[in-house]
């Protein structure tokens, strides 16, 4: 058994990962079981560099706000803004504070400098403008879509004026009230104004679709892609706010599902542009249903990875990251009868595991589920080993000192 498992382990290298896959993917999804560890971010960065330099990849997408991520993309492609500015304002969830993300942006900007636009690397956030405490106002996305259309189509075709949108939107703090996450009555998502905005957003997106030939002739594909992003985001946020006002027992299940659906739509749009590396929590990228214990009980929903995999088939590949220890968070050596314990016994500090081969080697012997003493780390589910294309294993994650800033 130990020999079979060792035979399934390979050096961590982009070319090795791709050789494990049945087909070359349009989206190569690298999951992580915990957030904010620079060890894992730097491993992601190294894999992305190899994919760029050896495999022709040009895009990386991370679990961050798709709207604020446009500032990062502008910086790495055209130098707009300073590195400090885009790290502060171009990331959600506090991700801009991590050294691994800063190093990624710095390297991508340096790579693009002096290269023609056809060779530029691209950055994307693929999460919605959502936090665990609240959802953003739809103002930015909705007004950006209106501005794009108003500059390029006959005014008579627009379903409303910008003044109408402003009046219906009101102040942004109406939309971002954190109390609405726990109290549906505090949400404005089912107000008369919100219902009207949903109809107008739908009409604006329909106009964008109907005018596609004209818009692509009158503007760049890049501008049109962004307008589509504005449309997806505006309609997605208005839908999310609508269900924040829901009082049924399915409320949180629906909200979790809507967030991952927004992620999936953004990923499918990126897949249409060419191959990309995707990085997010394992739970957002896995093929099986995701589950979470929340204040009103357990909820489960189809992840973005499950939704994208259903659409792309073998053009979507998923490799979760598994960890041995995170001792500075109280996660010690894994029990030997868990998947992580079996991998921890291997001599390598880091390796890529052929997941289907590992599942076959285990046969009917199902490892025990690992129980994490820390809420911020989610171990692998041994029942779904074969649902992954590979596993990236890191034996020990240590707390790294902050390096000097580039």
Query: Which residue, 274, 304, 327, sits at the end of a domain?
Result: 274
Note down the domain range covering 12.
Answer: 1-57+275-405
Same domain flag for 218 and 234 = yes
| Domain-located, residue 237 | yes
- Predicted TM-score of the model (pTM): 0.95
Same domain flag for 285 and 401 = yes
**How many residues in total does the chain contain?**
406
Query: Which residue, 249, 274, 299, sits at the end of a domain?
Result: 274
Same domain flag for 295 and 387 = yes
When divided into structural domains, the chain yields a total of 2
pLDDT digits (tens), the chain, 406 positions: 454 777 788 899 999 999 999 899 999 999 999 999 999 999 999 999 999 999 999 999 999 999 999 999 999 999 999 999 999 999 999 999 999 999 999 999 999 999 999 999 999 999 999 988 889 999 999 999 999 999 999 999 999 999 999 999 999 999 999 999 999 999 999 999 999 999 999 999 999 999 999 999 999 999 999 999 999 999 999 999 999 999 999 999 999 999 999 999 999 999 999 999 999 999 999 999 998 887 777 899 999 999 999 999 999 999 999 999 999 999 999 999 999 999 999 999 999 999 999 998 888 888 999 999 999 999 999 999 989 999 999 999 988 765 545 5
Same domain flag for 282 and 386 = yes
Same domain flag for 169 and 198 = yes
Same domain flag for 269 and 168 = yes
Same domain flag for 282 and 301 = yes
Query: Which residue, 274, 295, 323, sits at the end of a domain?
Result: 274
For the domain that residue 359 is a member of, what is the CATH number? Answer: 3.40.1660.10
The 10 Å Cβ neighbour count of residue 98 is: 20
């Amino acid at each position: 058994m130990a020999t079979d498992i060792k035979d399934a382990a390979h050096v961590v290298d982009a070319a090795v990962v791709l050789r494990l896959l049945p087909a070359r993917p349009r989206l190569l999804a690298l999951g992580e079981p915990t957030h904010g560890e620079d060890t894992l971010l730097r491993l992601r960065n190294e894999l992305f560099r190899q994919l760029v330099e050896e495999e022709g990849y040009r895009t990386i997408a991370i679990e961050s706000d798709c709207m604020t991520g446009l500032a990062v993309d502008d910086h790495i492609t055209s130098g707009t803004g300073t590195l400090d500015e885009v790290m502060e304002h171009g990331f959600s969830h506090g991700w801009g504070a991590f050294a691994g993300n800063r190093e990624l942006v710095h390297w991508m900007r340096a790579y693009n400098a002096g290269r023609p636009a056809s060779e530029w690397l691209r950055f994307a956030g693929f999460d919605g403008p959502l936090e665990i405490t609240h959802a953003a106002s739809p103002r930015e996305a909705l007004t950006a879509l209106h501005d794009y259309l108003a500059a390029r189509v006959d005014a008579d075709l627009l379903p409303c004026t910008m003044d109408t949108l402003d009046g219906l939107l009101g102040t942004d703090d109406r939309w971002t009230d954190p109390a609405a996450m726990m109290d549906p009555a505090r949400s404005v998502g089912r107000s008369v104004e919100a219902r009207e905005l949903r109809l107008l957003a739908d009409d604006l997106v329909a106009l964008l679709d109907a005018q596609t030939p004209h818009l692509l002739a009158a503007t760049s594909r890049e501008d049109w892609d962004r307008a589509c992003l504005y449309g997806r985001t505006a309609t997605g946020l208005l839908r999310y706010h609508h269900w924040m006002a829901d009082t049924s027992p399915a409320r949180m299940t629906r909200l979790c599902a809507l967030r991952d659906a927004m992620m999936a739509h953004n990923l499918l749009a990126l897949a249409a542009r060419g191959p990309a590396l995707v990085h997010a929590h394992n739970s957002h990228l896995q093929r099986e249903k995701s589950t979470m214990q929340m204040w009103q009980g357990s909820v489960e929903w189809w992840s973005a990875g499950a939704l994208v995999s259903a659409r792309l088939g073998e053009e979507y590949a998923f490799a979760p990251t598994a960890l041995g220890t995170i001792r500075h968070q109280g996660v010690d050596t894994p029990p030997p009868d868990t998947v992580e314990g079996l991998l921890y016994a291997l001599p390598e500090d880091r390796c890529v595991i052929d997941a289907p081969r590992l599942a076959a080697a285990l046969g009917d012997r199902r490892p025990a589920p690992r129980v994490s003493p820390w809420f911020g780390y989610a171990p692998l589910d041994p029942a779904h080993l074969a649902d992954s294309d590979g596993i990236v294993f890191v034996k020990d994650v240590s707390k790294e000192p902050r390096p000097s800033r580039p």
